[in-house]
A and B are shown apart, each in its own frame.
Chain A
Amino acid sequence: MDPLHQFQINPLFQIVLGGYDVSFTNSAFFMVVAVAAIYALLVMGVANKSMVPGRLQSLAEMFYEFVANLVRDNAGHDAKPYFPFVFSIFMFVLIGNMIGMIPYTFTFTSHIIVTFALAATVFVFVTILALLKHGLHFFSFFMPHGAPIALAPILIPIEVISYVMRPVSLSIRLFANMMAGHTMLKVFAGFTVMMISGLGALGFVTGLIPLAINVALTGFEFLVAFLQAYVFSILTCLYIRDALELH
């Protein structure tokens, strides 16, 4: 009845490599499932291209167009080459969140190490991109334009912190949303079970209330699952635009 039990990592195959535990866990398994699902969707979607798309094809095209518009509108004119990067991130997070909505699965995006690894990838990518595009001019990013030079010792550390913060806030937002939502579902489901075991026949009636809330919460969780994937990729786009334009 522990609502946090669902986040437990269980190794499926024990693997120890050079003294490190690199076991294939349930988290890793569902990541593989997510990648396989994305791959299958896209490959089967475009397997027999037709003028009037079938279900899979229109789903694949919908994802493609959605992300393409996202990149175009948010990352600006020069961002077209970075579309595959944003698309991969969006699909991985979205399918990961959605797989988590299926009962008895594991939501790998509810672990901060996973979301932080994703956010750190974005951060390193964007920083290298900015350094390649602008060279050392990149570091002017940390001094607000037109600020008095005497304030530099205070302003520069603050700006550096608020830059380094990006992957942290990006990963916390995704992980906290997913974890809070899934915990809430389990807690409300637990209320029903507790009422039935505690109140007997009356529990079957009162237990309907948390059950009804859970139905609404499940719908809300689907919204959050999509919205967080969207927010994650929109922020990636905005960071790419920052790196390209250094505004």
Chain B
Amino acid sequence: MTDKSPPDPLDDLEARLRKAREGQRGWSGGPGSKYHRPPQGALGTAWRIGTELVAAMIVGVGGGLLLDRWLGTAPWGLIVMFFLGAAAGVLNVYRAVTGFGIAAGYRRPPGDDNERQDGDAH
């Protein structure tokens, strides 16, 4: 005889709505609080590092050749830019694997404990 009616679906809806609205407020939440990274297996990492190195060499050597053609400094532009490109590639791979984030960021990503100790204003 207990009037144990099934739970009112609207009660549940109310709770879910509240939860969703809290989620929406996340637009102004701390940046990088849920810092997503693409799921990266070994293959993903290999692809990333490979393309990073290749892209650096393309930009370095291509830029060097263009500089040479423009300024007529062959072969110095190519030589210098080759090494700078190689350095940039290795630097980006270092950044990628030491957790500076997948972007070529220049400072530590937000959410890192060591960030902004240098009083760096954004």
Q: Which of A140-185 contact B (CB under 8 A)?
A: 141-142, 144-146, 154, 157-159, 161-166, 168-169, 172-173, 176-177
B109 close to A161 (CB less than 8 A): no
A158 close to B91 (CB less than 8 A): yes
B38 close to A162 (CB less than 8 A): no
Q: Which of B3-11, B54-62, B68-76 contacts A (4 or more CB under 8 A)?
A: B54-62
Residue in contact with A158 in the complex, picked from B29, B35, B87, B108, CB distance below 8 Å: B87
Chain B interface residue bracket vs A: 35 or more
Q: Which of A110-145 contact B (CB under 8 A)?
A: 141-142, 144-145
> With an 8 A cutoff between CB atoms, is B120 at the interface?
yes
> With an 8 A cutoff between CB atoms, is B104 at the interface?
yes
Task: Give the residue name and chain of the B residue nearest to A140 (CB).
Answer: B106
Q: Which of B65-122 contact A (CB under 8 A)?
A: 81, 84-85, 87-89, 91-92, 101-110, 115, 118, 120, 122
Residue in contact with A247 in the complex, picked from B34, B44, B122, CB distance below 8 Å: B122
Q: Which of A67-75, A92-100, A200-208 contacts B (4 or more CB under 8 A)?
A: A67-75
Q: Which of A40-48, A56-64, A228-236 contacts B (4 or more CB under 8 A)?
A: A228-236
B38 close to A165 (CB less than 8 A): no
B103 close to A165 (CB less than 8 A): no
> With an 8 A cutoff between CB atoms, is B28 at the interface?
yes
How far is B39's CA from A73's CA once the two chains are assembled, in angstroms? 15
> With an 8 A cutoff between CB atoms, is A238 at the interface?
yes
> With an 8 A cutoff between CB atoms, is A196 at the interface?
no
How far is B16's CA from A86's CA once the two chains are assembled, in angstroms? 28
A76 close to B31 (CB less than 8 A): yes
Query: Min CB distance, A94 to chain B, in Å?
Result: 14
Given contact pairs A172-B51, A172-B54, A234-B102, A161 touches B63 in the complex (Cβ within 8 A): yes
B34 close to A73 (CB less than 8 A): yes
A74 close to B122 (CB less than 8 A): no
Query: Min CB distance, A73 to chain B, in Å?
Result: 5
B115 / chain A contacts, CB cutoff of 8 Å: 247
B104 close to A77 (CB less than 8 A): no
How far is B54's CA from A247's CA once the two chains are assembled, in angstroms? 25
> With an 8 A cutoff between CB atoms, is A227 at the interface?
yes
From A77, A154, A231, A238, residue with most partner B Cβ within 10 Å: A238
A164 / chain B contacts, CB cutoff of 8 Å: 59, 63
B51 close to A234 (CB less than 8 A): no
From A164, A230, A234, residue with most partner B Cβ within 10 Å: A164
B105 / chain A contacts, CB cutoff of 8 Å: 238, 242, 247
> With an 8 A cutoff between CB atoms, is A108 at the interface?
no
> With an 8 A cutoff between CB atoms, is A246 at the interface?
yes
B56 close to A165 (CB less than 8 A): yes
B118 close to A173 (CB less than 8 A): no
Q: List 15 A-B contacts (CB under 8 A).
A: A73-B35, A74-B36, A77-B28, A145-B120, A162-B56, A162-B89, A168-B59, A169-B52, A169-B56, A173-B51, A176-B47, A227-B39, A238-B103, A245-B31, A247-B110
Extra contacts, 18 of them, besides A70-B36, A76-B32, A242-B105 (Cβ < 8 A), are A76-B31, A76-B110, A77-B27, A141-B106, A144-B107, A145-B106, A158-B88, A159-B88, A159-B106, A161-B63, A165-B88, A165-B89, A165-B92, A172-B55, A176-B51, A238-B105, A245-B31, A245-B122
